[in-house]
Amino acid sequence: MQSKTPSDSRTIMTDMVLPSETNPLNNLFGGELLARMDRAASIAARRHSRRITVTASVNHVAFNRSVPLGSVVTVEAAVSRAFKTSMEIFIDVWIEDRISGERVKANEAIYTFVAVDDTGTPTDVPKLEPESDLEKERFEAALRRKQLSLVLAGKLKPNEATELRALFMN
């Protein structure tokens, strides 16, 4: 299988925040943002693997900044590392200033998707070759995050999480 770069899967979705999508403070409802990120991440995973992909876990979400009603929101997703059948997807969320057009980073998240065949059985995905410094940084840390996610899900024993153990030994 030919390896791919993060640019091959990069998915950019821009949309507005409508009144039906806000909380009582007139900011974007967190669940709505999770759904938008899940959709963008799903497309990125599909572009990388060219398979059916399912969300296996949401590893990290940081709602650092609220997103007011009427904001123009851009969700940018790309595969940050591919393992055997799973892919880590990094999602950056930007808000556009109405007057200047300047983009400000609002939130970020990390999802894990698994490529499956028609019966739902996990299937192999192409390797990922990071290019930029940021892509390389995200790639390097992804195995640690995968092990943490598996430990939290009860699918990996803590003493088998070699990358995590190395982190705490240093």
Ligand X SMILES: CC(C)(COP(=O)(O)OP(=O)(O)OC[C@H]1O[C@@H](n2cnc3c(N)ncnc32)[C@H](O)[C@@H]1OP(=O)(O)O)[C@@H](O)C(=O)NCCC(=O)NCCS
Q: What is the DSSP letter of 157?
A: -
Q: How many CB atoms lie within 10 A of CB 70?
A: 12
Yes or no: say if 52 and 117 are a contact pair by the CB < 8 Å rule. yes
Say whether residue 34 binds ligand X (CB under 6 A).
no
Cβ neighbours for 6, distance < 8 A, ≥ 6 positions apart: 78, 79, 80, 128, 130, 131, 132, 135
Angle at which helices 133-152 and 162-169 pack, to 10 degrees? 110
| Stretch of residues binding ligand X (CB under 6 A), selected from 6-14, 64-72, 128-136, 147-155 | 147-155
**Measured between alpha carbons, how far apart are the two ends of the chain, in Å?**
36
What residue number has its CB nearest to ligand X?
83
DSSP label at residue 21:
G
Single residue of 68, 96, 122, 143 touching ligand X by CB under 6 A: 122
User: Which residue of 112, 126, 161, 164 would you call a contact of ligand X, by CB under 6 A?
Assistant: 112
Name which position in 45, 86, 93, 130 contacts ligand X (CB under 6 A): 86
We find the least distance from the C-beta atom of residue 17 to ligand X, in angstroms, to be 24
Nearer to ligand X, 45 or 93 (CB): 45
Contact flag: residue 110 with ligand X (CB under 6 A): no
Binding to ligand X in span 51-70, by CB under 6 A: 54-57
Which range touches ligand X (CB under 6 A), out of 26-34, 40-48, 84-92, 160-168? 84-92
Give, in degrees to the nearest 5, the angle at Cα 131 between 97 and 143: 95
User: Binding residues for ligand X, per CB under 6 A?
Assistant: 54-57, 83-86, 112, 114, 116, 120, 122, 146, 149-150, 153, 155
